[in-house]
């Protein structure tokens, strides 16, 4: 790996604010972002990336390349929960294995947004349809995780049918915001959209830095609760995302998908959900332990992808493109 890429990424202001959040938590500082402000910033980031992605998708149209990319994204959202479930079922009960399968088959919007910002800094283009890819990868993994749990147990919960699970996945605030903003970006008049450009683009990185500061504080707190999980789950939270990223890069390269889109596919395949999935599983599978699947995604996989994964996957993409 090119040391310059690592060094440049380590000096990225957004990453440094994430590290500051971790430090603040470790030294037990009273630094914190109020929950309502954090929620607003989260919704703003999803709105901004969705709206800009929708406008770019409106320009590009539904080409063969777009269809291939969307198909590959959905394919990974189906494949990852299947193989991870059977891998985890050897060590965990069915409920926790299914919850983790859904978690790692789904995606992290914040990781995707950070990776998009990384590409923008490097002036590497990517398609607006990648936002649609992210949105489409949320629900299938959740549904498959629940289906696997029900298939391997006598688990019955009549009030939560598959239709309700799908509704919970799609009506989750983060998913609805990204999908809704994507559609609005597609429909919006380009000249009218210029009026909100300062809000959708110019302040984006500042809000991202503050949000990652908050994520650093939360991740450090969750990591303390995760210590009891043991070496297997820690290794899983790092190695499986790396494997998923490599598979995504190889598949995208075989389909001749452009560099920026290939990189974002790797990010999507390697990330894990700590927002949409917990919200859905809380109702659908209350037997699963959130003290396992939330810290794994938020305290291990998320920091790893932000600090190491982004430059690592970009370097792998560059090697194949040479």
The pLDDT tens digits of the residues spanning 111-131 come to: 998 898 889 888 899 887 888
Residues in the chain: 322
Helix axes 310-321, 259-270, angle to 10 degrees: 140
pLDDT at residue 22, rounded to an integer: 84
Q: Is 178 exposed, middle or buried (0-12, 13-18, 19+ CB in 10 A)?
A: buried
Average pLDDT across the chain, whole number? 82
pLDDT at residue 225, rounded to an integer: 58
Q: In the Cβ-directed half-sphere of 297, how many Cα atoms lie within 13 Å?
A: 26
Across the range 240-259, mean pLDDT stands at: 95
What span, in angstroms and rounded, lies between the C-alpha atoms of 270 and 147? 22
pLDDT at residue 134, rounded to an integer: 83
Which pTM does this prediction carry?
Answer: 0.77
The first and second tokens of residue 21, run together, are 């959040």
pLDDT at residue 159, rounded to an integer: 44
What span, in angstroms and rounded, lies between the C-alpha atoms of 181 and 175? 10
Average the pLDDT over each of 19-33, 188-202, 219-233, 249-263 and give the range with the smallest value. Answer: 219-233
Q: Taking 60 as the threshold, does the pLDDT of residue 34 lie above it? A: yes
What are the chain's domains? 36-321 (1.20.1530.20)
pLDDT band at 158 (very low <50, low <70, confident <90, very high): very low
Across the range 146-171, mean pLDDT stands at: 65
């Amino acid at each position: 790996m090119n040391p310059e890429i690592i060094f440049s990424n380590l000096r990225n202001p957004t990453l440094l604010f994430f590290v500051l959040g971790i430090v603040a938590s470790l030294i037990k500082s009273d630094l914190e972002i109020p929950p309502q402000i954090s929620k607003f910033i989260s919704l703003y980031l999803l709105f901004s990336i969705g709206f800009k992605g929708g406008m770019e998708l409106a320009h590009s149209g539904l080409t063969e390349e777009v269809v291939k990319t969307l198909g590959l994204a959905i394919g990974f959202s189906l494949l990852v929960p299947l193989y991870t479930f059977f891998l985890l079922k050897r060590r965990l009960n069915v409920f926790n294995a299914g919850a983790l399968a859904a978690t790692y088959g789904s995606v992290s919007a914040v990781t995707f947004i950070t990776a998009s910002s990384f590409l923008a800094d490097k002036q590497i283009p990517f398609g607006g349809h990648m936002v649609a890819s992210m949105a489409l990868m949320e629900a299938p993994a959740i549904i498959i995780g629940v289906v696997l749990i029900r298939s391997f147990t006598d688990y019955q919960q009549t009030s939560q049918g598959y239709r309700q699970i799908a509704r919970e996945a799609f009506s989750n605030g983060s998913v609805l915001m990204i999908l809704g903003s994507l559609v609005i970006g597609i429909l919006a008049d380009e000249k009218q959209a210029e009026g909100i450009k300062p809000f959708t683009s110019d302040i984006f990185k500042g809000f991202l830095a503050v949000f990652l500061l908050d994520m650093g504080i939360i991740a450090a707190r969750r990591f303390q609760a995760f210590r009891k999980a043991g070496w297997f789950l820690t290794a899983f939270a790092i190695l499986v995302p790396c494997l998923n990223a490599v598979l995504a890069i190889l598949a995208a390269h075989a389909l001749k998908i452009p560099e920026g889109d290939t990189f974002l596919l790797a990010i999507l395949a390697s990330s894990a959900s700590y927002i949409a999935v917990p919200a859905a599983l809380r109702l659908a599978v209350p037997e699963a332990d959130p003290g396992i699947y939330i810290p794994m995604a938020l305290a291990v996989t998320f920091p790893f992808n932000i600090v190491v994964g982004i430059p690592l996957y970009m370097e792998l993409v560059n090697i194949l493109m040479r």
